[in-house]
Amino acid sequence: MLTRRSALALSFAALVGAAQAQPQKIPVVASFSIIGDLVRQVGGDRITVATIVGPDGDAHVYQPSPADGRHIAQARLIFVNGLGFEGWLDRLMRAAKSKGEVFTLGNGIAARKGEEGQDPHAWQDVANAKIYVEAIRETLTAADPEGAPAYKANADAYLAKLDALDTEIQQAIAAVPKERRRVVSTHDAFGYFAGRYGVEFIAPQGVSTEAEVSARDVAKIIDAVRTHKVAAVFIENIADPRLAKRIASETGARMGGVLYSDALSDAKSDGATYIDMMRHNVKELAKALAP
């Protein structure tokens, strides 16, 4: 017969045993919100994800915080975009003495060349997002072979949703007359979107938001808006809206809504996941470009 004390000891042992049977979640860092979402979709509950540049944040000009250093120091895997997007990363890794492995998802795609070098905004083409997801699945599987079936199931389900999203965007843009498919954004973040879906974007600022916009750049855009009958001028969630508003007011072009360029929205808005963000963008474009 068990005494009360040994019964307690047994139940404590059972509790400890149960805790040990739970696999340790893999600590993962994502450099910015969009990759954070993709990694969560594939990793599910086998991983924890800390995201460095959060919703509505601009990764081009980000200043890491001490909390970022702590996350990087604890991470086993670190997923980044590369292609010149996270200029602050190497310093952060050194400062945090990180032993985590870095995976540069942008290395897997055919990078577009901008005027100032490689264009990092690959996620704006859903086909590239699929390449990112496949790379994330492979990386997580290599780090945690026991999780292979879960990572495969998660990735398969999500890739099917991305296929549907890609078709949805193509159909929405196909419904816009060709001569209307020309818009202004603040910085050159939509080159990959333009390449896949056939909307022309012009922007006063280049592929990074680091460079100052000169009066000459703005004058050039205003000229282009007038000459090419640009249908709408868009604001971006990571950029100051004043420049876009000025271009719209000086040219009489229609003011479009907000496009999610380099970051997801916060949870209260309608772009809090990658799929929602792309849906929001195409909805705003279709609305502004309708004749």
Nearer to Zn ion, 119 or 144 (CB): 119
Tokens describing residue 284 = 């705003």
Q: How far is the CB of 262 from Zn ion (least distance, A)?
A: 4
Q: How far is the CB of 285 from Zn ion (least distance, A)?
A: 17
What Rg do the C-alpha atoms of the chain give, in angstroms? 22
Residue 182's Cβ-side half-sphere holds a number of Cα atoms within 13 Å equal to: 13
DSSP assignment of 74-104:
H-SEEEE--TTS-TTHHHHHHHTT--PEEEE
Q: How far is the CB of 184 from Zn ion (least distance, A)?
A: 15
Binding mask 252-271 for Zn ion (x = CB under 5 A): ----------x---------
Q: How far is the CB of 187 from Zn ion (least distance, A)?
A: 5
Q: How far is the CB of 205 from Zn ion (least distance, A)?
A: 9
Following CA atoms 86, 83, 187, 233 in sequence, which dihedral angle do they give, to the nearest 10 degrees?
Answer: -120
Tokens describing residue 186 = 């603040």
Number of chain positions touching Zn ion (CB under 5 A):
2
Contacts of 246 (CB under 8 A, 6+ apart): 218
Burial profile 80-111: b = 16 or more Cβ within 10 angstroms, e = fewer: bbbbbbbebbeebbeebebebebbbbbebbeb
- CA dist 239 and 245 (Å) reads 12
Nearer to Zn ion, 144 or 262 (CB): 262
Q: Which stretch binds Zn ion (CB under 5 A): 7-15, 103-111, 184-192, 193-201?
A: 184-192
* Cβ atoms < 10 Å from Cβ of 242: 10
Q: Which stretch binds Zn ion (CB under 5 A): 36-44, 102-110, 161-169, 182-190?
A: 182-190
Q: How far is the CB of 32 from Zn ion (least distance, A)?
A: 10
Q: How far is the CB of 21 from Zn ion (least distance, A)?
A: 44
Contacts of 25 (CB under 8 A, 6+ apart): 45, 46, 47, 48
Q: Which stretch binds Zn ion (CB under 5 A): 100-108, 161-169, 188-196, 267-275?
A: 188-196
Q: Does 68 bind Zn ion (CB under 5 A)?
A: no
Nearer to Zn ion, 166 or 262 (CB): 262
Nearer to Zn ion, 262 or 284 (CB): 262
Q: From the list 189, 232, 248, 259, which residue makes contact with Zn ion (rule: CB under 5 A)?
A: 189
Q: Which stretch binds Zn ion (CB under 5 A): 34-42, 71-79, 186-194, 227-235?
A: 186-194
Contacts of 43 (CB under 8 A, 6+ apart): 26, 28, 49, 136, 140, 151, 154
Nearer to Zn ion, 139 or 209 (CB): 209
Interface with Zn ion (CB under 5 A): 189, 262
